[in-house]
Structure formats: structure tokens, C-alpha cells
């Protein structure tokens, strides 16, 4: 969502429409919460499902651009020749840079916030004040969707694997903080998609980790991993993952148990990190890590 806000901010004084899937029924390509940005030149960012549905949604968005009036569009996908039939409800909102600026500020705050898009006339807004725990809902005037409802992914280590992993995490909606003990790797230029990049010795980490946060450990060596894992086990993180072979895992586990950490505590640690998809290269391992965190996030917030 941050990228959507950034594009809106950059397109200051340029006509843009947000197309948001706000409800679905049956088997349809677009899912509730999907977003697309459309300008006079066509699709700019995102998707509402692809194929003919998206083509027609782009044309509808450009009609909204001409009229500068918000509208809600219900389409039966059977009527446009798709094999799987269902209903997709798409809100088309004539946007401005205001929502981009406010959205970036909300994202950077790290706090949960709600994006409110008017279903008819009115202006989109950002709010921290709505207390509903629902993921998204509608009323007669606005479509609401909650963002930043999940925690931060703390990635320890700024090497090649982190450089492959962080963009994937950011692209799939995770907020990410990268921590490395080397200034040349704790560099925002290496991690433009990260929310924060910190330089810190691993034996003196000073961050507050909450129960919805994730920790992914991929430092350059055994000692760095052990120091970070020791820190992680003292937090309430919902996930702790460590890169490592069986031999490395045993070495670190033996070291930590000699310090008094119990086998039961070590069960909190996922190692090797990521889903078992036969990954070998840093890029493939990054995909397995991202997929595992997506799975955990979905399970945490499953209704």
C-alpha cells in the first residue's frame, strides 16, 4: 500500500483514479482489498484481477476521470464471458495527492490505521480512531480497510540473502526493519524498500519487539546468528526464523542450552528458515522465507 500512496503523492495535480475491489461473490479473479491506480494513460499500478475484468475496469476508471465523480460498479463476470461466474463490486475514487501524503505519514508512523474511501461524493481520509477489529467493512458512505494491522519483520543481517528477501517482504505488504553490525551493510541505499535500516552490534540490540512482530536471522556467521537468536528468544515475537544447516543449528542450540536456554524455548525457532520448496540460491530462499511469513500472517488473521 505504501507504493500506491507514493505514486499518488508523486502524481501531484495529475488525474488519477483508485479502483478498489470492495466486495465479491462466487468465483471471481479479483479479491476484496485489491487496488489499482489508473490515469489517462491507462493502468499505472496494481490490479483488480486481470483479464477482461481489468480491461473494462480501466475503461470505467477513465470515464470517472472525465466526470470526476466517484462511482461503485457491480459486474457479473458471466456477462463478460468468463468461465467462472460471480459478482465483483469495484469502487472508483477520483484521487488527489492529499491521500498519498496522508497515507505515507500513516504508514511511516507504524501504527494501525484505516483508509476510508467515499462510496459516492466526499474525500478519502486516514483515521486512527476507528476501533473495529474487522479487517474491512462498508457502510452507506465509506469503504474502510485497515492497514499496518500486523507487526514488523526484523531482518538481522544485511547481506545477499537479505537484499533478496526485503524487497519481496515489502512488496507483499510487510513492514521491514533491517539490522546489521556493519555500516556498509546497514545502508538505506541497499534497502530502499525497508521502513528502517539500523546499525547495531548484535550483542547490544536495543529495539522493542511485540507479539505480532517477526524476526528473521541471516547474519554472516554463527556468532552473529547466536547473538540474535539469544535476543529473539527474550522477546514475544510471533515468529523466529534462522538460516542454517543441521550442523550449524546443533552448534548454536548446544551453545544456547549451555547458557540455560531450554529445548522447549528453542522450539519457538524455525530453522532452516522458510518453506521447504527445494530452494538453493539466495533468490529462491528469499521466496521461501516470504511465502512462510505470508502463510503465518494469513493464519494469524484468519476469520
Shared-domain flag, residues 142 and 156? no
Q: Is the pLDDT of residue 130 over 70?
A: no
CATH number of the domain bearing residue 183: 3.40.50.720
Minimal CA–CA distance to 187: which of 158, 220, 147, 225? 158
Confidence band for 2, pLDDT divided at 50, 70 and 90: confident
Per-residue pLDDT tens over the stretch 7-62: 999 988 788 999 999 988 887 777 888 999 999 999 999 999 888 889 999 999 99
Confidence of residue 291 (pLDDT cuts 50, 70, 90): very high
Say yes or no: 105 and 191 in one domain.
no
- Percentage with pLDDT > 90 across the chain: 65
- Is the distance from CB of 25 to CB of 124 less than 8 angstroms? no
Domain that holds residue 213: 152-300
Whether 185 and 85 map to the same domain: the answer is no
Last residue in a domain, options 147, 174, 206: 147
pTM above threshold 0.75: yes
Asked whether residue 142 falls in the same domain as residue 187, the answer is no
What number of other Cβ atoms are within 10 A of residue 194's Cβ?
A: 21
Q: What is the pLDDT of residues 67-97, one digit of tens each?
A: 888 999 998 877 877 766 788 899 999 987 7
The backbone torsions φ and ψ at residue 152, rounded to the nearest 5 degrees and listed phi first, read -95, 145
Question: What is the tally of structural domains in the chain?
Answer: 2
Q: What whole-number distance in Å separates Cα of residue 134 and Cα of residue 301?
A: 10
Give burial (CB, 10 Å; 0-12/13-18/19+) of 68: exposed
152-211 pLDDT tens trace = 999 999 999 999 999 999 989 899 999 999 999 999 999 999 999 999 999 999 999 999
Query: Which of 147, 177, 193 finishes a domain?
Result: 147
Amino acid at each position: 500500500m505504501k507504493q500506491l500512496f507514493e505514486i499518488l503523492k508523486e502524481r501531484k495535480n495529475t488525474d488519477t483514479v483508485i479502483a478498489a475491489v470492495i466486495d465479491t461473490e462466487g468465483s471471481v479473479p479479483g479479491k476484496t482489498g485489491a487496488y489499482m491506480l489508473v490515469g489517462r494513460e491507462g493502468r499505472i499500478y496494481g490490479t483488480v484481477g486481470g483479464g477482461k475484468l481489468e480491461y473494462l475496469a480501466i475503461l470505467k476508471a477513465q470515464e470517472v476521470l472525465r466526470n470526476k465523480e466517484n462511482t461503485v460498479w457491480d459486474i457479473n463476470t458471466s456477462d463478460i464471458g468468463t468461465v467462472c461466474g460471480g459478482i465483483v463490486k469495484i469502487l472508483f475514487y477520483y484521487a488527489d495527492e492529499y491521500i498519498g501524503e496522508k497515507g505515507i505519514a500513516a504508514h511511516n508512523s507504524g501504527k494501525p490505521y484505516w483508509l476510508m474511501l467515499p462510496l459516492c461524493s466526499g474525500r478519502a481520509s486516514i483515521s486512527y480512531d476507528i476501533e473495529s477489529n474487522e479487517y474491512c467493512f462498508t457502510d452507506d458512505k465509506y469503504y474502510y480497510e485497515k492497514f499496518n494491522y500486523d507487526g514488523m519483520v526484523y531482518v538481522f543481517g544485511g547481506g545477499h540473502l537479505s537484499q533478496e528477501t526485503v524487497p519481496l517482504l515489502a512488496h507483499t505488504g510487510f513492514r521491514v526493519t533491517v539490522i546489521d553490525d556493519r555500516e556498509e551493510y546497514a545502508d538505506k541505499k541497499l534497502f530502499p524498500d525497508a521502513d528502517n535500516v539500523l546499525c547495531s552490534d548484535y550483542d547490544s540490540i536495543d529495539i522493542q519487539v511485540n507479539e505480532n512482530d517477526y524476526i528473521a536471522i541471516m547474519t554472516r556467521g554463527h556468532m552473529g546468528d547466536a547473538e540474535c537468536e539469544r535476543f529473539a528468544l527474550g522477546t514475544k515475537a510471533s515468529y523466529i526464523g534462522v538460516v542454517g544447516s543441521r550442523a550449524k543449528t546443533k552448534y548454536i542450540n548446544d551453545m544456547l542450552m549451555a547458557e540455560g536456554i531450554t529445548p522447549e524455548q528453542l522450539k519457538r525457532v524455525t530453522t532452516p528458515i522458510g518453506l521447504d520448496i527445494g530452494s538453493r540460491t539466495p533468490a529462491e530462499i528469499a521466496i521461501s522465507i516470504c511465502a512462510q511469513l505470508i502463510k503465518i500472517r494469513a493464519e494469524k488473521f484468519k476469520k
